[in-house]
Amino acid sequence: MQHALGRIKPAGLTHRKLAALIAAHVLFGFANALLRLSGQGNDPATAMVLAVGGRVGMPLSTMSLIVYGLCFLVQIRADRSLVGVGTFVNWVSVGILTDACYGLYTRTFTLPDALPWRLAAALVSILMFSLAASLYQTAALGVSPYDSLSIALSRRTRLPYTACRILTDTACVAVCAAFGGVLGVGTLICAVGLGPIISFFDRHVSRQFIGAADI
């Protein structure tokens, strides 16, 4: 997920960028909830928050505010240029929307236990997640508290962004495992395989929607 996050810069707030930002976070909610429902593991950050929240008895919506709040404290100290309206939208909305969408899913349908169905649900959720990430990153209205950690680390250490992202994601996976959380193929794909999918949506959806002149 290096592409847009690696070149965050001050950007004007346009109607299309705002629409992309809102659509992205609604999609994040549906995608995270479906991936959770599939039982194939969430993205590393969400998996960690779910695991810690499950251990202390807090829902994702509450635990994410706390965990990403701690990340935000690091973010404003390490690199305030990464902070924007998108930072706060992501911090506040992702956990709440994911919990709401998960509740909607569980009330409206039951996902069969058969592995092919669950893998299919995980695949659909990963495509949704990738489109959401593409919209949010291309809008360039601020980096989420968690995403900012790997960017700031790369800028301060001069290590490649990809290496820093793998480091932060691996740390999340380790915490998730330590707290007895769910890890699976969805976690692995989110950790190492989203880049090409996001790049596809960049070229064919996000840049066309937002407009090349606004990027």
Please write the tens of the pLDDT for every residue from 18-56. 999 999 999 999 999 999 999 999 999 999 999 999 999
Indicate whether 3 belongs to any domain: no
Q: What pLDDT is recorded for position 212?
A: 55
Nearest one of 78, 83, 96 to 8, comparing CA atoms: 83
Residue with the two structure tokens 């992702």: 94
Indicate whether 2 belongs to any domain: no
Indicate whether 91 belongs to any domain: yes
> What's the pTM value of the predicted model, to 2 decimals?
0.86
Indicate whether 5 belongs to any domain: no
Question: pLDDT band for position 6 (50/70/90)?
Answer: very low
Nearest one of 99, 33, 31, 32 to 65, comparing CA atoms: 99
Average pLDDT of the segment spanning 189-200: 86
DSSP tag of 210: H
Indicate whether 6 belongs to any domain: no
Indicate whether 8 belongs to any domain: no
Residue 149 belongs to what domain range?
13-214
- Side chain identity at residue 67, one-letter code: V
Indicate whether 166 belongs to any domain: yes
DSSP tag of 113: S
Task: Provide the number of structural domains found in the chain.
Answer: 1
